Structure 1
Amino acid sequence: MDLVAPVVVEPLRRRRCSECRQEPLERMIVEFNAPVCLDCADLGHLVFLPRGDTALTRRAREGSGLWAVVVRHNRRRTRYERQGLLVEEAALARAEAACLADAEARARRRARDAARRAERDAEVTAALEAEILRLFPGCPAERAERIAAHASAKGSGRVGRTAAGRALDRGAVTAAVRAAVRHVDTDYDTLLMSGVPRHQARSRVAPAIEAVLRAWRAD
């Protein structure tokens, strides 16, 4: 059997209950074209749950033996729009407890996922550092560590985060080392700041970069 929930209206103007004469009415139902307050409609024991939390709303509705839909007329859109539900207080308390437990479980899961991602990121960085030292055995260990960390920083889009970088492609690894040398061991950045076009600056510092790479390739 399909359930038909009562519809409760939040009136836009002052209304009086047609049975007990109470006014003004914050919420009411309409029976025989007349406003009826929630107490007279036997809905006064229900509590209001605003819309917005889908999981909480679903659980409270499913756990409530009696519930009602709350609507308000939108004059601009010329239609009634849902504002929330009226549900049994005990059902809402149970729903809130269940959602809180879910939130705690999700937080624990996010923490576990973050730890796993951090572990994978550390593995990527360590593998890149090892490959740098394999290709450039003369590179100081602390420089290899810094280059690997910089190139594999999460979300950076740098060489270490690309497919080639993760696969430890020789060209990708060398590109990461060359970029580090360009910025640290040459006056490339100074040239850029002085207005030298990028391509010209790269040409000027290319011999110095290659000299460092040759030295680092030597065992």
Structure 2
Amino acid sequence: MAVEPPLVVQPLKGRWCGECRTGPLSMIVMEFHRTYCLDCADLGHLVYLPRGDAALTRRAREASALWAVVVRHNKRRTRYERQGLLVEEAALAVAEAACLADADARARRRERDAARRAAQDVRFMAAFRAEILRLYPDCPAARADEIAAHASVRGSGRVGRSAAGRALDPGAVGAAVRAAVRHVDTEYDALLMQRVPRHQARRRVAPAIEAVLRAWRR
């Protein structure tokens, strides 16, 4: 059966416990539309482990009989994002000792993984560049290099790293080329700096983008 740990929130504004009236609180638990402090929610004995060390987090969670997920609302993305865990202090000590014991082995594994990912990235960037030149034969080689390098950065969230981009879908590759032309070969960025609404700026530079793409398709 899947485990659903308690959820603890780091509030963006000052909140007070609905039971003991302490506050403002750095962490709260919401139950039945009421706010509780960690002590009143029976989580006060747990210690906070910020996110960042995956091995330490996993081991502390596995060693802790009771643990909770800590989240905070991201206004820009309009969603709650995980910040860390609350775990038992003894479990954290066990996890820290285990991480120290195999730190060298994990470091070597990270190095191997990094080398493997780097090799994969080089191959993917070359394939992305080749697809750009297939779709746009007259695109300057240097520009194809720049577009492929920019679009294929791992973890960037750019179109090259989308599922379609990784599959070298022509639509995704074309979108990456179009975006590059928009920013480099038109006045689009200057229009944005002048506070022109994005959709209006895109409409104004669309003819210039199409002119460049037509020239590159020949």
Compute the displacement of 1:100 (Å).
6.3
Q: Which residue of 1 aligns with 2:34?
A: none
Equivalent residues in 2 for 1:150-165, closer than 5 Å? 150-165=150-165
Q: Which residue of 2 aligns with 1:89?
A: none
Compute the displacement of 1:170 (Å).
0.7
RMSD value over aligned CA atoms? 2.9
Q: Which residue of 1 aligns with 2:139?
A: 139
Change (3 A) 1:204 1:84: closer
Change (3 A) 1:136 1:84: closer
Q: Which residue of 2 aligns with 1:202?
A: 202
Equivalent residues in 2 for 1:179-198, closer than 5 Å? 179-198=179-198
Q: Which residue of 1 aligns with 2:213?
A: 213
Compute the displacement of 1:112 (Å).
0.2
In 2, Cα distance between the equivalents of 1:84 and 1:192?
49
Letter of the structure 2 residue corresponding to residue 176 of structure 1: A
Structure 1: gaps of 5 or more residues: 1-52, 56-80, 86-95
Structure 2: gaps of 5 or more residues: 1-55, 61-88
In 2, Cα distance between the equivalents of 1:194 and 1:134?
36
% identical aligned pairs: 75
Equivalent residues in 2 for 1:70-219, closer than 5 Å? 102-218=102-218
Compute the displacement of 1:125 (Å).
1.1
Q: Deviations over 1:101-158 (max 9, x none)?
A: 7322211111001110111111111111110011111011110010011111111100
TM-score (norm: length of structure 2):
0.55
Q: Which residue of 2 aligns with 1:70?
A: none
In 2, Cα distance between the equivalents of 1:195 and 1:113?
44
Change (3 A) 1:190 1:99: closer
Compute the displacement of 1:84 (Å).
11
Q: Which residue of 1 aligns with 2:32?
A: none
SS of 1:215 mapped into structure 2: helix
Q: Deviations over 1:157-184 (max 9, x none)?
A: 0010001001111111000000000000
Compute the displacement of 1:99 (Å).
7.4
Bigger mean CA deviation after superposition, 99-108 or 147-156 = 99-108
In 1, Cα distance between the equivalents of 2:109 and 2:92?
30
Change (3 A) 1:84 1:183: closer
Q: Considering only CA atoms, is the larger Rg found in Structure 1 or Structure 2?
A: 1
Q: Deviations over 1:169-200 (max 9, x none)?
A: 11110000000000000000111111211111
Change (3 A) 1:140 1:109: same
Change (3 A) 1:111 1:207: same
In 2, Cα distance between the equivalents of 1:101 and 1:83?
15
In 1, Cα distance between the equivalents of 2:195 and 2:184?
19
Q: Which residue of 2 aligns with 1:6?
A: none
SS of 2:102 mapped into structure 1: helix
Compute the displacement of 1:201 (Å).
0.7
Letter of the structure 1 residue corresponding to residue 159 of structure 2: V
In 1, Cα distance between the equivalents of 2:174 and 2:111?
35
